[in-house]
Amino acid sequence: VDFDFAVIGGGIVGLATARALRERYPAARLLVLEKEGTWAAHQTGHNSGVLHSGIYYKPGSLKARLARTGGAAMVAYCREKGIAYEVCGKVIVAVEECEIPLLDRLHQRGMDNGIPVERIGPERLRELEPYARGLAALHVPGAGIVDYGEVARTLAYDLAQGGAMMHTGVRVTRLRPETGRVVLETAAGETLGARFVINCAGLHSDRVARLGGVLPGLRIVPFRGEYYELTPERRALVRNLIYPVPDPAFPFLGVHFTRMIDGTVHAGPNAVLGLKREAYRKTDFDARDAAEVLTYPAFWRLAARHFGAGAEEVWRSLSKAAFVRSLRRLIPEVTARDVVPAHAGVRAQALMQDGTLADDFVLLPGPRAIHVCNAPSPAATASLEIGRLITDEVARHGDAPT
Ligand SMILES: Cc1cc2nc3c(=O)[nH]c(=O)nc-3n(C[C@H](O)[C@H](O)[C@H](O)COP(=O)(O)OP(=O)(O)OC[C@H]3O[C@@H](n4cnc5c(N)ncnc54)[C@H](O)[C@@H]3O)c2cc1C
């Protein structure tokens, strides 16, 4: 018997979507397929663990709306399930005169988005973060921390308890839309049937969309984010979350200090082009993945526009001294002895054919399917609401099971 819904991808977006489908269609036969041996093996298990408040995003965008409502839903879910989280607040610090207008613009944007945010001076900054230095800052009390891997595993457990068929270690290699159903083929040679498919395949979401007969008009470009960690005796340098003023030309937030929910303090992530979709190490290379980026004209348009910033990122990735220099802008006391290399994560960032980085979440309809082709930060924060939005889209889709 066919499933009603098959979700491809066991990251937080796929799992939250399965949960929302379960809420809306309680009797539906639900299947979740994850290619790795565990849930949350990629972006969901390798990030900063920050509950974003929604200050950064363009008013009216999905990111702005869903970060705010999704953040509240995430806090409620963690409370209900006994998952550790903390709404500890964060500061965004301007360290140079030229950053002040950008900080003010961000302040306005936060207010436009309805986010509680306060403009503070150096003294108040010192009260909140005694080791941070800056000319001015924004205090965002609603930001927080959580372990999204734990959230994802809890979602998967709940779904299994509720009767969903949950499979790890199953990679979807083909999708074949037929009358009334989609046939999914797996790397192990199995075939499964579903009346509707939701593609939440993260770093592979563009490929899965193409498998499903959709030309997405974008390609996923992997951007590795490397972190250092403060040594245990220097953790006191950071109370909560200390961010720089982001460069408005990029969707990334800049190298920041993050107290994780387990008490460690991480510094990062940078943003370096990966030559493999899951390029966790600097040397990771995959010929097909690299060729897909390097033969994509949009990539060269992006590279030409941001050559200087890209070169700087590569240098900061190779040189610990350069990385520490960017940390010292925020906390001058940090030295190279205080930090050790920690984990890395890889962002699935959609690059549009015109050479621009997709700014907002991207959902594309296909035959008997919805493809989530751009769900970068703050998609973990927003995941429960993204799941509900996708379920609304499913309900509107002409091919949806009833
Ligand atoms: C360095 C970094 C820092 C970040 N910091 C934050 C933060 O602080 N706060 C925040 O809200 N967001 C943050 N994000 C973003 C957040 O982690 C992602 O938006 C979110 O995890 C996306 O979830 P996902 O389920 O779409 O993707 P993923 O977690 O990548 O899940 C996709 C899954 O699909 C599976 N898959 C792929 N292809 C197939 C296939 N063919 N068959 C079966 N399975 C398949 C993959 O194995 C993977 O597990 C950060 C991301 C990174 C990389």
Distance from residue 96's CA to the centre of ligand 1 (Å): 33
Taking alpha carbons only, the member of 224, 126, 175 closest to residue 8 is 175
Residue located nearest, by CA, to atom 15 of ligand 1: 377
Q: What separation in Å is there between the alpha carbon of 43 and the centre of ligand 1?
A: 3
Could you list the mean pLDDT of each consecutive 10-residue stretch along the chain, which spans 402 residues? 96 98 97 98 98 96 98 98 98 97 97 97 98 98 98 98 98 95 97 98 98 96 97 98 92 93 97 95 96 95 92 92 96 98 97 95 97 98 98 92 82
Q: Cβ–Cβ contacts within 10 Å for residue 260, how many?
A: 17
DSSP string over 176-198 = EEETTEEEEEETTS-EEEEEEEE
The number of the ligand 1 atom at minimal distance from the alpha carbon of 223 is 53
Residue labelled with tokens 């009216």: 60
Give the torsion through C-alpha atoms of 47, 196, 183, 13, to 10 deg: 0
Mutate to test the pocket of ligand 1, among 15, 17, 36, 42 (most ligand atoms within 8 A of CB): 42
Is the C-alpha dihedral spanning 309, 315, 316, 322 positive or negative?
negative
Q: Residue 250: what pLDDT?
A: 83
Rounded to the nearest angstrom, the distance between the alpha carbon of 12 and the centre of ligand 1 is 7
pLDDT value of position 85: 98
Alpha helices in 82-139 (DSSP H): 100-112, 122-128
Most informative mutation of 47, 50, 255 for ligand 1 (most atoms within 8 A of CB): 47
Residue with tokens 């590569």: 314
Residue 202 CB–ligand 1 contact under 6 Å: yes
Bridge-based pairing of strands 3-8 and 191-199 is parallel
Alpha-carbon distance 48 to 50, whole Å? 5
Q: Closest ligand 1 atom to the C-alpha of 344? A: 1
Q: What's residue 398's pLDDT?
A: 83
Q: What amino acid occupies position 283? A: T
DSSP state of 63: H
Structure token digits, residue 95: 């360290």
> Could you give the angle at which helices 148-161 and 12-24 cross, rounded to 10 degrees?
40
Question: Is ligand 1 within 6 A of the CB of residue 50?
Answer: yes
> Could you tell me the distance, in angstroms and rounded to a whole number, from the CA of residue 98 to the centre of ligand 1?
34
The vertex-247 CA angle with 245 and 253, nearest 5°, equals 65
Q: Is 244 in the pocket of ligand 1 (CB under 6 A)?
A: no
Distance CA 25, CA 167 (A): 20
Per the CB < 8 A criterion, the answer to whether 187 and 173 are in contact is: yes
Phi, psi of 165 (to 5 degrees): -90, 115
Write down the pLDDT at residue 252. Answer: 87
pLDDT at 61: 98
Q: What is the atom index within ligand 1 of the atom nearest the CA of 15?
A: 25
| Ligand 1 touching residue 41 (CB < 6 A) | yes
Instruction: State the distance from the centre of ligand 1 to the C-alpha of 9, rounded, in angstroms.
Output: 9
Q: Nearest residue CA, atom 4 of ligand 1?
A: 47
Q: Is 265 close to ligand 1, i.e. is its CB under 6 Å away?
A: no
Ligand 1 lined by 12 (C-beta under 6 Å): yes
CA of 67 to the centre of ligand 1 (A): 16
305 CA from centroid of ligand 1 (Å)? 27
DSSP notation for 239-300: SSEEEEPPPTTSSS--SEEEE-TTS-EEEE---EE-BSTT--STT-B-HHHHHHHHT-HHHH
362 lines ligand 1 (CB under 6 A): no
Between the CA of 234 and the centroid of ligand 1 the distance, in Å, is 30
* Beta-strand pair 369-374/191-199: parallel
CA–CA dist 359, 70 (Å, integer): 18
Evaluate: CB of 92 within 6 angstroms of ligand 1.
no
Instruction: Decide whether any atom of ligand 1 lies within 6 Å of the 268 Cβ.
Output: no
Query: Contact 20/387 with Cβ under 8 angstroms?
Result: yes
Q: Separation of 158 CA from ligand 1 center, angstroms?
A: 20
